Amino acid sequence: MMQELPIFIGLLFGITVLITIFMMYRATQSKKFLLSVVLWTLVQSALGISGIYQKTDMMPPTLLIFGLFPAIVAIITVFFTKAGKQFIETIDLKIVTYSHTIRIPVEIVLTLLFHYGVMSVYITFEGTNFDILSGISAPIIAYISYRSITVNHRALLWWNVMCLLLLLNVVITAIFAIPSPFQKIAFDQPNIAVLYFPFNLLPTIVVPLVLFGHCVAIKRLLHAQ
């Protein structure tokens, strides 16, 4: 059972999740998108509270089966359907870029969880997770890219590619640090927190939305070259 945590950590993370959803809604201006994300968040909240993700002996892990994989399938569906492609073209990339600032509070929460013994050091900026650089640089690159009438597509494209690589680095590392048949590292202090609500919303809601934002931006910016 996960040890008791100060309530402010859960509140900080909960607010971060809400801001992430709100920013992506602002970028899409789609009530259908908002409804889909809210419903998925409620489903993931219920699964997290039910304790299903704490069953760590399944292969693949339940967190991947019921959490991350369906979100990735949804993203792929958007990119390979006619309606999805049209939807992608309507998304405001400036707002999407600014939305990556939420990675700062995410990294703060991860570090707090590490110091309370429920998250691996590998998933923090004290270890091998440098994703906080994406959050810090997001408002800077957004300002630089959109300060004039002509958008700096090249700079924005390269920034998205680099930040996507940082995201993939932490996601892959996190999978190897979760108690499961996949675990390869952090046996002394694995990623227990993401098996519990509300922190299970990190790999099932926040990460997919951030991933979606990068994929949309890279697709649009490649066509703009």
pLDDT value for 176: 92
Q: Give the pLDDT confidence score for residue 2 in this predicted structure.
A: 64
Note the pLDDT of residue 180: 86
- In this prediction the pTM is 0.95
Q: What is the mean pLDDT of each run of 10 residues along the chain (225 residues)?
A: 82 97 97 97 97 88 93 96 96 97 97 94 92 96 87 91 96 91 87 95 97 97 81
Task: Of 139, 115, 138, give the one whose Cα is nearest residue 125.
Answer: 115
Separation of alpha carbons 140 and 98, rounded Å? 9
**145 and 156 in contact (C-beta within 8 Å)?**
yes
The Cα 110–Cα 97 span in angstroms is: 22
Residue with tokens 């993370």: 13
Q: Could you give the count of Cα atoms lying within 13 Å of 208 in the half-sphere of its Cβ?
A: 22
Nearest to 114 by CA among 210, 5, 1: 5
CB under 8 Å to 125, separation ≥6 — which residues?
A: 107, 111, 131, 132
Q: Could you tell me the residue ranges of all domains in the chain?
A: 7-224
- Neighbouring residues of 146: CB distance < 8 A, sequence distance ≥ 6: 94, 97
State both tokens at 202: 């990190």
**Res 3: pLDDT:** 65
pLDDT at 150: 79
